[in-house]
Chains A and B, each alone.
Chain A
Amino acid sequence: MSGFRTVAIVAALVVAAFLLALSDRYYMDVFILTCFYGALAVSWNMMAGLTGLMSLGHALFVGIGAYSVAWGASVQGWPPLVTWPMGVVIAVAAAAVMGMLCFRYGLRGYFFAIATLAFNEVAFFSVSASVALGRSDGLILPTSSEDSVMMLQFFDKWPYGLIIGTVLIATLAIGQYLLTSRTGYYWRALRDNEEAAEALGVNARAYKLRCFMLSAGISAVCGAFYANYVAFVDPRSVLGIDLSIQMLVYSIIGGMALLWGPLLGAVLLVPFSVLLRNISAMQGSEIIAYAVLLVVLALILPQGIAGWLTARWRRRKAAPRPEGFASVAAAEKSA
């Protein structure tokens, strides 16, 4: 049950960060961005790190969520109560179709990544050409001068922080629940050796599909939130490949073997890049910094910062007891 304890600690830290951020609009904005990218990276990593399916087209699902809300609000006048579930349903359905196509042919590794990228690019260019979705200019959500809970429109930033913080904690809780269930063990078995898992009776296609759909659904929720928070969506911001790469960056730097690894990556990098953007006059300096970090860490620390920390921690805990080595080795292998 130590996994649940970890999630509880992380949730407590998220709540503490939220309370601290209440003091200032600027901090709250950083908190919101961190939670947004953190939840996205955790959902991306459920596929990549826990099931071994590397997607480079996850922005597609964020875009579906964001555009459902933006289109619903600006064209139809629908409230988020309708458009959020709509976005999630469409994203999950899209993931189901994409997954069925890809897994039917056993696409893996690079091939799966590039296939998802292709789906994303088709959506990107189609939306850029679609008049109903505002072409490349994007859609602006209608705003009124008064706060409205129904339309998720607030002058203060803290209600948004509350929403995305809840999404993040829920994502971690769902992830942890699944990891300790049969599904989670199947996922990791598929990641480590698909042929062996199938030989033992794991229905690879069904479990990979389930993971893809769950991850897409969470990404769509984040996208829907983004549309309500920023009140503006365009293809570049919610469907661009940059967003997919960001999920990968946080996961690799944070650590992919652990559920909360990608969140650690986002916690370290999002405030860092906001800070760098403010103090450095050089355009894109924050991207240069994290690109260097990405290359170096992916080469010398393949398990990420979280993986490195936990391995150190385990080693220190095990050091006084020489007879514990075997169990530590086993635990590290299973992690």
Chain B
Amino acid sequence: MTFGIFLQAVVSGLANASIYALIAVGLTLVFGVMRIINFAHGEFLMIAMYGGFFAWSLFGVDPVMAILIVTPLLALLGMALYGGIVRLALKVPEINQMAVTLGLSLLLQHLALVLFSGDNMLVTQPRSTAGIVLGPVVIQVTHLIACGASLLLLGLIYLILRRTDFGLVMRAVAQSRDGAALSGIDIASVYKWAMAVGVGTLGVTGPLLVSILYVNPHVGALFTLKAFVIVIVGGLGSFGGVLVGALIVGLAESIAGAWFSASIAAAVPFAILILVLLLRPEGLMNRSLAR
């Protein structure tokens, strides 16, 4: 592997990492606030990707503009998910919670298969093939847009969590549900909004991702698993942890892909997870969204 290829792998890895981080932050937000892991997280990303695709193929809407339509829709879907299913799931044992979101993931995948068929679809525009050449490295314009938007939104979410009353209330619930309830915080409404934000962020990622990666009904499962690895590597429920985890996973995957085969690259995130289990298990239990 030449230095040029290595550099290219690092740049692609960084671009992927920013997208992964935005996907994982929704998962970790929902876990931090509600202590529930949403196995259907990736399926909502898949829905957002189809949203972006159909906005482009049926109405000719640019994926960047489609964000403005898809994001509110996904946020509404998140609220509906809370009201219809998660609200009830909070009352059953953990194993059942897992079964509920796994069942939902299966359901959405196969409904998508019926509605949209199993074909791969991709948004192709004049800028899809455009790239910026920086010495030995080429940066795809579509990657650059997705990366920039992810970083922007991550910054926005960070500011909301840190600087607004809404963020304060979310952190309070994450820290102590009962304490927050005793202080007069409406827990149900916080849960609803956490779900809306957690799923809504995918409304930004989806349309941008569909210009980079083919969408098919099973694309979500891959991202759910990667998002798990990222949030656990970084510490579940921790905002900074998501960034660290996404960087590690994105870079390692991309470098392994350049070095070895694609199958090995796909196994890398999980190998990292096992390594973290071995070497830094306390990172696993680190729940610092509240702090």
Closest to A121 in B: B270
Please tell me if the beta carbons of A115 and B274 are within 8 angstroms of each other in the complex: yes
Most buried by B among A54, A107, A109, A256: A109
Q: Does A284 contact B (CB under 8 A)?
A: yes
Q: Is A93 an interface position by the 8 A CB rule?
A: no
- 30 pairs of residues in contact across A and B, judged by CB atoms under 8 Å: A48-B95, A54-B98, A111-B232, A113-B98, A115-B273, A115-B274, A118-B270, A118-B273, A121-B266, A122-B274, A126-B264, A128-B266, A129-B263, A245-B102, A248-B99, A248-B102, A249-B103, A282-B114, A287-B106, A287-B110, A291-B104, A291-B110, A294-B103, A295-B99, A295-B107, A298-B89, A298-B96, A298-B100, A299-B89, A299-B92
| Interface assignment of A102: CB less than 8 Å from any CB of chain B | yes
Interface flag for A302 (CB, 8 Å):
yes
- Measured between alpha carbons, how far is A113 from B99 in the docked complex, in Å? 12
Question: Inside 8 A of A278's CB, which chain B residues have their CB?
Answer: none
Binds A, one of B52-60, B132-140, B180-188, B277-285: B277-285
User: Is there an interface contact between B261 and A129, defined as CB atoms closer than 8 Å?
Assistant: yes
Instruction: Identify 8 new A-B residue pairs, CB closer than 8 A, beyond the known A54-B98, A294-B100, A298-B100.
Output: A110-B37, A122-B271, A136-B263, A248-B98, A249-B99, A291-B110, A295-B103, A299-B92
Q: Measured between C-beta atoms, what is the minimum distance from A134 to chain B in Å?
A: 13
Give the chain B neighbours of A298 by CB distance below 8 A: 89, 92, 96-97, 99-100, 103
Question: Is A295 touching B114 in the complex (CB atoms < 8 A)?
Answer: no
Selected from A54, A101, A115, A283, the residue in CB contact (under 8 A) with B95 is A54
Hey, which chain B residues are within 8 Å of A302, CB to CB? 92-93, 96
User: Which among B99, B110, B225 is the interface contact of A284 at CB below 8 angstroms?
Assistant: B110
- Is the beta-carbon distance between B264 and A125 smaller than 8 angstroms? yes
> A110-154 interface mask toward B, CB cutoff 8 Å, 1 = contact, 0 = none?
110111011101101110110000011000000000000000000
Residues of A contacting B111 in the complex (Cβ-Cβ under 8 angstroms): 288
For the complex, is A155 an interface residue (Cβ under 8 Å from B)?
no
Measured CB to CB, the closest approach of chain A to B86, in angstroms, equals 10
1/0 per residue, CB under 8 A from B, across A281-307: the answer is 011110110111011001100100000
Chain A: CB-nearest residue to B112: A284
Point out the residue from B88, B113, B229, B281 that lies within 8 Å of A118, measured CB to CB: B229
Cβ A252 vs Cβ B85 within 8 A? no
Q: Which of A101, A117, A124, A129 contacts B277 (CB 8 A)?
A: A101
The 8 closest A-B pairs by CB, nearest first: A125-B267, A294-B103, A129-B263, A105-B281, A291-B107, A291-B106, A295-B103, A284-B110
- Give CA–CA (A210, B107) in the complex, Å: 35
Binding site for B on A (CB under 8 A): 48, 54, 101-102, 105, 107, 109-111, 113-115, 117-119, 121-122, 124-126, 128-129, 135-136, 241, 245, 248-249, 252, 256, 282-285, 287-288, 290-292, 294-295, 298-299, 302
In the bound complex, do residue B271 and residue A284 qualify as a contact, i.e. CB atoms below 8 Å apart? no
Closest to B284 in A: A111
Contacts of A284 in B (CB 8 A): 110, 113-114
Whether, in the assembled complex, B94 has its beta carbon less than 8 Å from a beta carbon of chain A, the answer is yes
- Report the nearest A residue to B266, measured CB to CB: A125
Least CB distance, A42 to chain B, in whole angstroms: 16
Q: For A295, what are the chain B residues with a Cβ–Cβ distance below 8 Å?
A: 85, 99-100, 103-104, 107
**Chain A residue at smallest Cβ distance from B87:** A299
Whole-angstrom distance between the Cβ of B75 and the nearest chain A Cβ: 22
* B260: nearest chain-A partner, CB-CB: A129
Name the interface size band of chain B: 35 or more
CB distance from B263 to the nearest CB of A (A): 4
Q: Closest residue to B106 on the A side, CB-wise?
A: A291
Q: Once the chains bind, are B94 and A110 in contact (CB under 8 Å)?
A: yes
Which among B85, B89, B95 has the highest number of chain A CB atoms within 10 Å? B95
Query: B228 contacts the other chain (Cβ, under 8 Å)?
Result: yes
A284 and chain B: residue at smallest CB distance = B110
B114 engages A283 (CB within 8 Å): yes
A288 touches B100 (CB 8 A): no
Complexed CA–CA distance, A127 and B16 (Å): 25
A117 touches B92 (CB 8 A): no
User: Closest chain B residue to A113 by CB distance?
Assistant: B98
- The minimal Cβ–Cβ distance linking B271 to chain A, given in whole angstroms, is 6
A129 contacts across to B, CB distance below 8 A = 261, 263-264, 267
CB nearest neighbor in A for B280:
A105
Contact partners of A290 in chain B: CB under 8 A: 106
With a CB–CB cut-off of 8 A, which chain A residues contact B99? 248-249, 252, 294-295, 298
Residues of B within 8 A of A110 (CB): 37, 94, 98
| B110 touches which of A115, A241, A249, A288 (Cβ 8 Å) | A288
Could you tell me the distance in whole angstroms from the C-beta of B222 to the nearest C-beta in chain A?
10
Q: Which residue of A lies closest to B108 (CB)?
A: A291
Determine the chain B residues whose CB is within 8 A of the CB of A117 once the complex forms: 225, 228
Q: Which B residues are CB-close (under 8 A) to A299?
A: 85, 88-89, 92, 96, 100
Closest to B228 in A: A114
Knowing A291-B106, A294-B106 are in contact, say whether A128-B263 is a contact too (CB < 8 A).
yes
Q: How far is the CB of A256 from chain B (nearest CB, A)?
A: 7
With A111-B232, A295-B85 as known contacts, state yes or no: A288 contacts B114, CB within 8 Å: yes
Q: Which of A121, A124, A287, A292: most chain B CB closer than 10 A?
A: A121
Q: In the complex, what's the smallest C-beta–C-beta distance from A46 to chain B, in angstroms?
A: 14
